[in-house]
Structure 1
Amino acid sequence: MKSFKVVELKLEHENNFIILELIDGIIINNEKPDDPWLIEISTSPDFKDILKELVGSELDLLVTITRHSNEPARFRGVFNELNEIDNALSLIFNGRIIVQSPNYAEDLLSHLIDEGYEQEKLLNEFKAMMESKAEIKTSDD
């Protein structure tokens, strides 16, 4: 079992990301084939109403571990629990890291060019998708 400190967590909701104000967090690799990763964070209660509605849902997260300068990993899992503790919320997720191709940037750029993006629109879409680590959707999907 391996664990890492979570330094930033972004939760995908309605095609946008909610950046949670992180108080503390940990991600643990349980080294199990089913749902190998567990994430537990404590956060401010700012998004409590939205978060309560999402308990039990499968969600995509961007998780940055150890240092803010690290690239975030895309995580897909189930939001299992929300608990109120003092003036904070404890959130628990189980799931897996989405491993992207080492050629993700090149594949994404090629995809966007094929989709007809050019110049400034190409640059803007590329930056947005690189930041979100979005899956590259093809017409075959």
Structure 2
Amino acid sequence: MKSFKVVELKLEHENNFIILDLIDGIIINNEKPDDPWLIEISTSPDFKDILKELVGAELDLLVTITRHSNEPARFKGIFNEMNEIDNALSLIFNGRIIVQSPHYAQDLLTHLLDEGYEQEQLLNEFKAMMESKAEIKTSDD
């Protein structure tokens, strides 16, 4: 079993990312075949109303571990639990890290060019998708 400190967590909601005000967090690799990763974070109650609607749902997260300069990992899993503790919320997720190709940037650029993006529009879409680590959708999908 391995664990890492979570330094930033972004939760995808309605095609945008909610950046949670992280108080503390940990991600643990349980080294189990099904849902091998567990994330537990504490956050401010700012998004409590939105979060309570998402308990039990499958979500996409961007998780940055150890230090803010690290690239975030894409995580897909179930939002299992939300508990109030003092003036904070404890959130628990189970799921898996989505491993992307080491050639993701090149594949993404090729995809966007094939889709007809040019100049400023190409740059803006490329930046947005690189930040979100979005899956590259093809016409075959």
The structural deviation recorded for 1:50 is 0.2
Identity over the aligned pairs, expressed in percent? 93
The structural deviation recorded for 1:70 is 0.1
Alpha-carbon distance in 2 for matches of 1:23, 1:81: 17
Q: What is the TM-score with the length of structure 2 in the denominator?
A: 1.00
Alpha-carbon distance in 1 for matches of 2:138, 2:57: 25
Show structure 1 runs of 5+ residues with no match. Answer: none
Root-mean-square deviation over aligned CA pairs: 0.2
Matched position secondary structure for 2:83:
strand
Alpha-carbon distance in 2 for matches of 1:43, 1:135: 27
Alpha-carbon distance in 1 for matches of 2:56, 2:115: 35
- The one-character-per-residue Cα deviations of 1:86-139 (angstroms, maximum 9, x if unpaired) are 000000000000000000000000000000000000000000000000000011
The structural deviation recorded for 1:77 is 0.1
Matched position secondary structure for 2:123:
helix
Segments of 4+ in structure 1 off by > 6 A?
Answer: none
Show structure 2 runs of 5+ residues with no match. Answer: none
- The one-character-per-residue Cα deviations of 1:45-98 (angstroms, maximum 9, x if unpaired) are 000000000000000000000000000000000000000000000000000000
Q: How many residues align?
A: 141
Q: Which residue does the alignment assign to 1:83? A: 83
